[in-house]
């Protein structure tokens, strides 16, 4: 029997586990409860000897709209801990640093290092934090209508917390797409090496399942060792060290915005409905 979650669905199809983000009314924006349910589902699949490959997908019109900055739980520590960072309510930058380490940077590193291969099946919009969810997967399959975007320079921040942009896009394209906050389509993502395959929207899940089954048919230890070998290569290139630096700069940007605007993001770049009428937790941001 598949477990029950409130923000995602967990399904098995033979040796393939499907983790489906299921907040279509929020365009699958990532709330704190969703983060921990995703973590539980990834753990469940990783520990199930019958599962060889994991697919991450989204319900509704879009893969993910990114972080849910309207989430009422965004400053509440969850009892389901995946790391050692605590003290989300600490004053100054300390609380935000702890929170974003736990639910963004360290969680993404944990998912990226899962011992089993993972595939992201991306359709519609994949924005900001949605990129993080796709980029931690080993392979990405995109539908022809997929659009990718990291717009956070508009909010006075250098990029989302899992700063894989130079590896996913190449350094010059990463600079251009971040500095301009422009989107890129599925074919562009494929040409940059970020996406493995682009398929019609109606074929996305069948294609992902077929690819997962092909991988599942191979000797599983060899597949795991391939994943570790390629990840080790990017680590040797300095990816994790660079990410820790960019994460620190991300926190610097938040602190600057709090001092200047009373909000961790530059309000002028936020949609009008999300612009704060008053400073938003300036002491604990």
**Does pLDDT of 271 surpass 70?**
yes
Q: First-to-last CA distance in the chain?
A: 41
Is 283 within the bounds of a domain? no
What is the bridge-based pairing of β-strands 147-149 and 184-185? Answer: antiparallel
What mean pLDDT do residues 222-242 have?
Answer: 97
Is 281 within the bounds of a domain? no
pLDDT for position 284: 36
Q: Which of 45-54, 95-104, 230-239 has the lowest mean pLDDT?
A: 95-104
User: What is the separation of C-alpha 264 from the centre of its chain, rounded to a whole number of angstroms?
Assistant: 20
Q: Based on the structure, what is the number of domains in the chain? A: 1
User: What is the separation of C-alpha 94 from the centre of its chain, rounded to a whole number of angstroms?
Assistant: 23
pLDDT for position 277: 60
Q: Is 88 exposed, middle or buried (0-12, 13-18, 19+ CB in 10 A)?
A: buried
Is 285 within the bounds of a domain? no
**% of the chain at pLDDT higher than 70:** 95
Sheet with 16-21: strands ordered across = 8-13, 16-21, 53-58, 118-122, 139-143, 197-199
Is 205 within the bounds of a domain? yes
Is 282 within the bounds of a domain? no
Is 145 within the bounds of a domain? yes
Q: What is the CATH number of the domain that holds 75?
A: 3.90.226.10
pLDDT confidence band for 1 (50 / 70 / 90): low
Range of the domain at 198: 8-274
Q: Other C-beta atoms within 10 Å of 171: how many?
A: 10
Q: Which of 86-100, 128-142, 157-171, 228-242 has the lowest mean pLDDT?
A: 86-100
Residue 133 phi, psi (nearest 5): -65, -40
More confident residue, 133 or 274: 133
Is 39 within the bounds of a domain? yes
Q: Which of 59, 49, 74 is nearest to 10 (CA)?
A: 59
Is 197 within the bounds of a domain? yes
Q: Are 88 and 98 in contact (CB under 8 A)?
A: yes
Length of the chain as a residue count: 285
pLDDT confidence band for 283 (50 / 70 / 90): very low
What pTM does this model have?
A: 0.92
Q: Which of 77-81, 151-155, 174-178, 233-237 has the lowest mean pLDDT?
A: 77-81
pLDDT digits (tens, 9 = 90+) for 117-172: 999 999 999 999 999 999 999 999 999 999 999 999 999 999 999 999 999 999 99
């Amino acid at each position: 029997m598949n477990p029950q979650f409130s923000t995602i669905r967990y399904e098995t199809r033979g040796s393939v586990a499907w983790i489906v983000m299921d907040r279509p009314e929020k365009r699958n924006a990532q709330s704190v409860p969703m983060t921990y349910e995703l973590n539980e589902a990834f753990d469940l699949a990783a520990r199930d000897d019958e599962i060889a490959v994991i697919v991450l997908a989204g319900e509704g019109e879009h893969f993910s709209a990114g972080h849910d900055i309207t989430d009422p739980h965004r400053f509440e520590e969850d009892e389901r801990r995946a790391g050692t960072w605590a003290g989300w309510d600490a004053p100054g930058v300390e609380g935000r640093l702890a929170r974003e380490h736990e639910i963004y940077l360290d969680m993404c590193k944990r998912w990226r290092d899962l011992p089993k291969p993972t595939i992201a099946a991306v359709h519609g919009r994949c924005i900001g934090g949605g990129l993080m969810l796709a980029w931690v997967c080993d392979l990405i399959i995109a539908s022809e209508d997929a659009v990718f975007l990291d717009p956070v320079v508009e909010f006075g921040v250098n990029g989302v917390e899992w700063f894989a942009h130079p590896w996913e896009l190449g350094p010059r394209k990463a600079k251009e797409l971040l500095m301009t906050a422009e989107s890129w389509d599925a074919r562009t993502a494929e040409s940059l090496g970020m996406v493995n395959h682009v398929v019609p929207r109606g074929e996305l899940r069948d294609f992902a399942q077929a690819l997962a089954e092909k991988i599942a048919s191979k000797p599983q230890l060899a597949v795991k060792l391939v994943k570790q070998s390629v990840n080790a290569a990017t680590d040797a290139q300095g990816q994790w060290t660079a990410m820790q630096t960019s994460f620190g700069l991300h926190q610097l940007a938040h602190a600057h915005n709090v001092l200047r605007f009373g909000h961790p993001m530059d309000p002028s770049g936020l949609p009008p409905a999300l612009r704060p009428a008053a400073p938003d937790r300036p002491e604990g941001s």
